[in-house]
A and B are shown apart, each in its own frame.
Chain A
Amino acid sequence: DAGVIQSPRHEVTEMGQEVTLRCKPISGHDYLFWYRQTMMRGLELLIYFNNNVPIDDSGMPEDRFSAKMPNASFSTLKIQPSEPRDSAVYFCASSPGTGVAGELFFGEGSRLTVL
């Protein structure tokens, strides 16, 4: 079975540019999460969706960040304009909403570097 698929794996961009990260969750999973990992703050939840509806976006740092889930098999996280402090690894995760509570299935991450 295919796991959570994220693209791109690596992105290097210049400050002020728009960045779009993409995620394909595991088929049949009702929950989708975007996390950001930095050395200073560890793994932070940015936003999560249930059945394509955003449930909690309280972790989104500011208006420069936006996330969408137009259908059950695709989500995007957009940063516009990007800043050097946005440099991090961004993980997408999905969960079926059944089985072990809190068991998330993570993608391999998108490493973003903003120069």
Chain B
Amino acid sequence: DQQVKQNSPSLSVQEGRISILNCDYTNSMFDYFLWYKKYPAEGPTFLISISSIKDKNEDGRFTVFLNKSAKHLSLHIVPSQPGDSAVYFCAASGHSGGSNYKLTFGKGTLLTVNP
């Protein structure tokens, strides 16, 4: 009963092109969404987030889109660079229970950017 689903275990993209990573969620109580990036042998690091009151948030080459009616979010990376090769985790939290910090993570998508 995964509440946050990343259905693509892996994605391969050419350098300079757009990478689109997808995430679906089932819990309608989630109202804050985040993307984390993880290199091998390191812990995940925060990349970008979006509140449910927005449908888009942009930070440099990274843009996150949220479609609440579809319970779907996506991370766009453009242009993709070889250094972006990593595992990307989608995460969600809700205000119910009083904490923004109880994150539910997806299983991750391995992005490979080929030179």
Contact = CB atoms under 8 A, between A and B. Distances in A.
A25 interface: no
Given A97-B101, A101-B93, A102-B100, A42 B108 contact: yes
Contact of B104 (A31, A33, A45): A45
B71 interface: no
A107 B43 contact: yes
> Chain B contact residues: over half helix, strand or loop, or mixed?
loop
A48 B103 CA distance: 10
Given A101-B32, A101-B49, A101-B93, A45 B43 contact: no
A31 B43 contact: no
A73 to B, nearest CB: 18
Q: Interface residue tally of chain A, by bracket? A: 20 to 34
Contact of A100 (B41, B49, B99, B102): B49
Given A101-B93, A102-B32, A45 B42 contact: no
A33 B101 contact: yes
A45 B104 CA distance: 7
Nearest to A9: B41
Interface string A101-112: 111111111000
Contacts of B2: 42
Interface of A: 4, 31, 33, 35, 41-45, 48, 55-56, 91, 93, 95, 97, 100-109
Interface of B: 2, 32, 34, 41-46, 49, 89, 91, 93, 97, 99-108
